[in-house]
Chains A and B, each alone.
Chain A
Amino acid sequence: MRCGFSILSLIVGLTAGSLRAQVVIEGTVQLPKPSFDRGLNQRYATAPDIALAPTNPPAAVVYLEGDFRAQAASAQKSQAQVAQKNVAFAPDLLPILVGTAVEFPNMDETYHNVFSYSKIKRFDLGRYRKDEKPSVVVFDKPGAVTIHCEIHERMRGTILVLETPYFQKTDTAGRYRLEHLPPGNYVLKAWVAGDDVRQRPVELKTGMTLHVDFPAK
């Protein structure tokens, strides 16, 4: 009898899980125009002999905002990475869950000096070489952290620290697809750049696929 009840519980649980897996939001974020690919012309210095990565096309981060602090706290946080490669950040936009550690390896044959003066995370990694152990920074407060290189002005990046485990970076066409979402009433947000954050209230029901586009402001 006890065995039969356990099997029934398992079936109900699996069914609920598969239904939850079917809650999907997809759509497109209208992205800004690509920025000009800045060279390395420095006023008083000779440019280093390094191939430059082209400026990355714009992208956005779409995330579901709600009270997910419990899920965020219990979620497994893998270490993320922002490399400095060909005098650019790779990736130059990184969404992470709050509490995630990010390492900053230098893949170039020249120095970089990654720093941020953003209020939610201020740090300066100093100058370090390619073969040195990369510095690791833990991002423990939510918000957008702008990162720069003190030596190369063309390098700019953003680490978007989120309190929700439900987020995705769009592709270069602005398309996104969030899956395995919990039913309920939330706000769906698209972080595009700086204070360009677009939002829509959403009501998610089990089994639905919602289409939400974010046109330009």
Chain B
Amino acid sequence: MPPSSPIPFRNCRWLALAFALVVTARADFLEKVHDSLSLNDSQDRFHFQLSGLVDLETYFIDQPAPGLIFSSRNFLLNPRLRLFLDAQIGSNIYLFAQTRVDRGFDPSDDGAQIRLDEYFIRYSPAKNINIQIGQFATVVGNWVQRHDSWQNPFINAPLPYENLTGIWDTGAPDETDELLEWGHVGEYDTRDYSDKYLRLPILWGPSYSTGAAISGSCGRFDYAAEMKNAALASRPESWNITQTGFEDPTFSGRLGFRPNEMWNLGLSASGGPYLRSNAVPDLPPGRGIGDYRELVLAQDLSFAWHHLQLWAEFYEARFEVPRIGNADTFSYYFEAKYKITSQLFGALRWNQQLFGTVRDEDHRSKWGNDIWRIDAALGYRFTDYLQAKLQYSFSRQETLRNGENLIAAQVTLKF
């Protein structure tokens, strides 16, 4: 474990100043800002709305940094600006775009960067049919709908969306020992975590890959299906159409059922290749990227009544690994949010990921470290436009003697 680095107080002062500014920002002023960022024509043929989220986020981390946090330090400041454009043209066409300025798609030590993370056009030819094309979040599961910092009761994502496995997308293992090394399993854990960015989770965050989707609802049923250029596990660089084409597409779908307003149940499935083109030299002769897929089955449910909301997702994932065979893993979480007062809410989440075994010479070996994590968060909405959250997480991985702690704080200004 690297030595603890001192907290950069210059950053803290900057953070405190920014926090003071947003706390004193009047809600009616921010409402005016929101209204002044809209544009519509006199005949109401179109309406453009520019809006945004400013996140000031800090992490106090035990090393190695958990999940999709890319930092070798114990303290990380991660500011982020998201700009959204929602455009309604007539009653049939809707456009959406999201641009981010931050230190990387996931929290990291990197310098500032600007990206167009999402853009799509949605055409609704009939009441229950929506067709959209562009780069957008996956239809799988139920976390995407609350993944932005304003809606998410926590600061990080559930375990299936960020816990890294030993699967790489830039190369294929020559033998089982290499896969176990990549997964840092037991005696294969070299304590060198510089390979972190090469590893893949079951789903990489909201998976803003590129493609086309059809969705709609019919009575108490919802349906959605998509064809995308990258698998659910693929890293953000793979989502862009300039990086990954449609030679080996991923197909995903979700069928939802709402027996009443309280319950929402869903079944999802996805299948598509997870390897990038630079893995091709590592593949057995005659094999291509399309021969090795990530297959996912998922079940989700949500419940809401008065001030209580519950969510759960269950993911059964299989990676088809060259020369080794199927590597299976199962991950799930239960999440609860309760509004204690009109402005204060608390949230709890239990996450777990379990790994199956792979063929290892004359026996079978577990290909990942089982892990559980508990997340607890408190959030406070000062106004319609300002929210603060504090989160504590404790995780325990089977090969690490001690558990890992994470404390995170986030202030979000919405405009």
Residues of A at the B interface (CB closer than 8 Å) are 36-39, 41, 43-49, 109-111, 115-117, 122-124, 126-129, 146, 148, 194-195
Contact = CB atoms under 8 A, between A and B. Distances in A.
Contacts of B261: 109-111, 127, 129
A126 B217 CA distance: 24
B154 interface: no
Contacts of A128: 305-306
B254 to A, nearest CB: 10
Nearest to B384: A117
Contacts of A123: 342
B173 to A, nearest CB: 35
A123 B260 CA distance: 25
B137 A126 contact: no
Contact of A194 (B31, B44, B86, B88): B31
12 contacts: A39-B88, A41-B86, A43-B86, A43-B96, A44-B137, A44-B147, A47-B130, A49-B128, A115-B342, A129-B262, A194-B28, A195-B28
A117 B383 CA distance: 6
A117 B343 contact: yes
Given A49-B127, A117-B343, A126 B94 contact: no
B381 interface: yes
Contacts of A122: 342-343
Nearest to A49: B217
A124 B342 contact: yes
Given A122-B343, A124-B342, A46 B130 contact: yes
B44 A36 contact: yes
Q: Chain A interface secondary structure, helix, strand, loop or mixed? A: loop
A41 B122 contact: yes
B111 interface: no
B396 interface: no
Contacts of B407: none
Contacts of B260: 129
Interface string B366-385: 00000000000000011110
Contact of B307 (A38, A44, A124): A124
Contacts of B307: 124, 126
B222 interface: yes
Nearest to A112: B261
Nearest to A45: B145
Which one of B305, B306, B343 has the greatest number of beta carbons of chain A within 10 Å? B306
Contacts of B91: 39
A127 B219 contact: no
Contacts of B32: 194
Interface in B282-335: 304-309
B99 interface: no
Q: Chain B interface secondary structure, helix, strand, loop or mixed? A: strand
A149 B372 CA distance: 35
A110 B258 CA distance: 10
B217 A48 contact: yes
A45 B96 CA distance: 13
A38 B384 contact: no
Interface of B: 27-28, 31-32, 38, 40, 44, 47, 84, 86, 88, 91, 94, 96, 122, 127-128, 130, 137, 144-145, 147, 215-219, 222, 224, 260-262, 304-309, 339, 341-343, 381-384
A46 B224 contact: yes
Nearest to A115: B342
A150 to B, nearest CB: 10
Nearest to B87: A41
A127 B304 contact: yes
B53 to A, nearest CB: 13
Contact of B219 (A47, A49, A117, A146): A49
A116 B122 CA distance: 32
Nearest to A48: B217
A49 B127 CA distance: 8
A44 B145 contact: yes
A38 B331 CA distance: 39
Given A38-B47, A124-B341, A129-B262, 8 more contacts: A36-B38, A39-B91, A41-B88, A46-B222, A49-B218, A122-B342, A122-B343, A194-B31
B27 A126 contact: no
Contacts of B38: 36
Contacts of B215: 46
Nearest to B304: A127
Nearest to A108: B261
Nearest to A129: B261
Contact of B304 (A48, A49, A111): A111
4 residue pairs, one from A and one from B, having the closest CB atoms: A126-B306, A124-B342, A126-B307, A41-B94
A117 B217 contact: no
Given A44-B145, A117-B383, A126 B28 contact: no
A115 to B, nearest CB: 6
Contacts of A124: 307, 339, 341-343
